[in-house]
Amino acid sequence: MANKKNNKINSAATNGSKYDAVIDTNERAVAIHEHLVTCLVENHPGVLARISGMFSSRGYNIESLAVGTTHDPSISRITIACRGDDRIIEQILKQLSKLIDVIRVVDVSQSSHVERELMLVKVAATGAARSEIMQICDIFRARIVDVHHDCLVIEVSGTTSKNEALMELFERFGILEMTRTGRIALNRGPEILSVAEE
């Protein structure tokens, strides 16, 4: 990861392209890391299929995926968590940029950002366990959104690692069912990803 900070050396490689993060190919790291790639795309039918198709046809894996329209209804924002070494991530960014309906692509995990995933967990909760679960929820700022004699449904949002820590704590009570969204992210500070051309 260390050499990632100097990654503008080859900026010409993407001059006029849809994304900025460029990796100097002489210093590429082979270590595999998780990245969060965000795209602004045309809100057209089939765009998601183009993106997921690119991942599957080139053998890249999607760890999580979040899709939704933005405040501009003609634009959707897609956030993809994926793993790979620098070469793979560079190809993913370039191949995404190449899709005609993709307007902008950025690897948000390369700069300071806020990321969240939402999780709903149904936990077995009887007797004394109930209060213990409620205490844990307090600490994690999780909310109980449904109560039943035998179980609780708990809503929590946060980073994947926070949510997983919570899951681990719930495990001994018995997790009956759970579901989570894809991760979403925004850069911190005034920097925005917009469709405006450079």
Partner 1 sequence: MAITGAEIIVDALVREGVQVVFGYPGGCVLDIFDRINHVPGLRFVLVRHEQGAGHMADGYARATGRPGVALVTSGPGATNLVTALATAYMDSVPIVALTGQVPTAAIGSDAFQEADIVGITRPCTKHNFLVKDVADLARTIKEAFYIATSGRPGPVVIDLPKDVQKAKLENYVYPEQVRIRSYHPVIHPDAGQIRRAAEAIARASRPLLYVGGGAVECQSQLVALSERCDIPCTTTLLGMGIFPGDHANSVHMLGMHGTQYANYAMHHTDLIIAVGTRFDDRVTGKLEEFAPRREHIIHIDVDPASISKCIPVSIPIVGDCRQVLDRLLPLVEPKKHHEWIEQVRRWKADYPLRYPDDDKLRPQHVIRELYRATGGEAIVATEVGQHQMWAAHFWQYVRPRTFLSSGGLGTMGYGFPAALGAQVAFPDRLVLDIAGDGSIQMNIQELATAVTEKLPVKICIINNRYLGMVRQWQQLFYKENYSGTFLGTPDGRAAGASLYIPDFVKLAEAYGAAGIRVARKADVAPAIKEAIANGRTTILEVMVEEKENVWPMIPAGAGVEQMISGLA
Binding-site member from 3, 6, 8, 11 for partner 1 (CB under 8 A): 11
User: What residue ranges in the chain does DSSP mark as E strands?
Assistant: 33-42, 62-69, 75-84, 102-107, 113-124, 143-147, 151-158, 175-180, 184-187
By CB under 8 A, is residue 97 in contact with partner 1? Answer: yes
- Which member of 12, 30, 31, 139 binds partner 1 (CB under 8 A)? 12
| 20 belongs to the binding site for partner 1 (CB under 8 A) | no
Tally of residues, the chain: 198
Q: List the interface residues with partner 1, window 163-192 (CB under 8 A).
A: none
Closer CB to partner 1, 52 or 157, in the complex: 52
User: How far apart, in whole angstroms, are the C-alpha atoms of residue 176 and residue 190?
Assistant: 42
Q: By C-beta, is 90 or 107 nearer to partner 1?
A: 90
CA dihedral sign of residues 66, 44, 13, 91:
positive
User: Under the criterion CB under 8 A, does residue 41 sit at the interface with partner 1?
Assistant: yes
User: From CA 140, how far away is CA 121, in angstroms rounded?
Assistant: 13
Sole residue written with tokens 């495990």: 171
Taking CB under 8 A as the binding criterion, the range among 93-101, 107-115, 117-125, 176-184 that sits at the site for partner 1 is 93-101
**30 interacts with partner 1 by CB under 8 A:** no
- Rule CB under 8 A: choose which of 4, 14, 43, 124 binds partner 1: 14
Beta strands in 5-136 (DSSP E): 33-42, 62-69, 75-84, 102-107, 113-124
Cα–Cα distance list, 64 to 19, 52, 68, 108, 181 (Å): 21, 11, 14, 14, 8
Q: Which is nearer to partner 1, 52 or 160 (CB)?
A: 52
CA distance 97 to 106: 9
List the one residue from 32, 53, 114, 171 that touches partner 1 (CB under 8 A): 53
18 lies in the binding site for partner 1 (CB under 8 A): yes
182 contacts: CB under 8 Å, gap ≥ 6: 64, 65, 66, 67, 79, 80, 81, 117
Query: Of residues 13, 32, 114, 147, which one binds partner 1 by CB under 8 A?
Result: 13
In terms of CB distance, is 56 or 112 closer to partner 1?
56
- Footprint of partner 1 on this chain (CB under 8 A)? 10-18, 25-26, 28, 41-42, 45-46, 49-50, 53, 57, 87, 90-91, 94-95, 97-98, 100-103, 195, 197
